[in-house]
Amino acid sequence: MILVHIQQIETASVMLKSASILATQLQKSFGVLCFVDTDELIAACEEKLNKLLIDLKLEGSQVLVRNSKLNTITSVCEELEAAFLFIQLPGGNTKAIRSLLNDCRELRIPYLFYKDSFPEMNLKKVILPIGFLEEELEKAQFAAAFGRFCGSEVKMLLANDYGSKAATNAEKMKLLFDKFDFNYTLEKAVKDSFKVEVESIQVAEKENAGIIIVSASRDYGLDDILFGPKEYHVVKKSSIPVLLVNPRGDLYALCN
């Protein structure tokens, strides 16, 4: 299922259309999720959502309205076995980004932030920044899915590092991509692994890309807690949707 988390029904139309198109391309079912403060508000919210879906000709989609005090984003996604999550950022509310990032820390599926100011999502080109961390490889399967099922061109943006770890990650990704029939290119970034994701925003604007795929932070350091993690700044600054992939903690245990 492609699940859409709506926070402001009145401004969610473009995001809903984009998510519905992606669901069709990936051959997934489509659902809409909204949280309310009390059980008494559930029926009215369901009525509004159903009316909006009818207006957008998306009737038949699954509608879920849950009490925010009894449910979390992660619990609902696991319950529904969702494969992909859209998250609305209404009214350019960047203050909500950090709270939503915290809510999504335990997700095992990719999640995409969609601002109300964004146009309908264009998936002709996907930007894939590549750094030196081993969890970067987890983004490859999702980039490949866009290439295979959405006809996207994947532009790999390789961090300009002194070491070879980022380049090794890129080569491993290419081995996966070569198994499928879609276009991809590899370009050397100006910035290193610590800044390549921010550079990807500029590249995306220049290339008229439709999405950026970024690895979320494995752990939060003091700077991340005070000023926000790297993904917060990418989502905040980006003029196109940003897809985040959480690292799998169980895959990166330290060994003696």
In which element (H, E) is residue 239 found? Answer: none
Domains of the chain: 2-115 (3.40.50.620), 125-251 (3.40.50.620)
The strand pair at 242-245 and 111-115 is best described as antiparallel
Buried b (16+ CB within 10 A) or exposed e, 70-97: eeebbebbeeeebbbbbbbbbeeeeebb
Residue 248's pLDDT is 72
> Helices 230-237 and 196-207 sit at what angle, rounded to 10 degrees?
20
Residue 91's pLDDT is 73
Distances (CA, A) of 175 to 59, 78, 180: 41, 31, 10
Could you say which residues of the chain have pLDDT below 50? 251-256
Residue 228's pLDDT is 65
Residue 129's pLDDT is 97
Pick the closest to residue 84 from 239, 229, 211, 170 (CA basis). Answer: 211
User: What integer best gives the mean pLDDT of the chain?
Assistant: 90
Global confidence as pTM: 0.92
Residue 226's pLDDT is 57
Q: What are 19-48's pLDDT values in tens digits?
A: 999 999 999 999 999 999 999 999 999 999
Residue 252's pLDDT is 43
> Helices 165-177 and 140-150 sit at what angle, rounded to 10 degrees?
30
Hey, how many other C-beta atoms are within 10 angstroms of the C-beta on 48? 16
Residue 136's pLDDT is 94
- Residue 74: what are its φ and ψ, rounded to 5°? -65, -45
Residue 222's pLDDT is 55
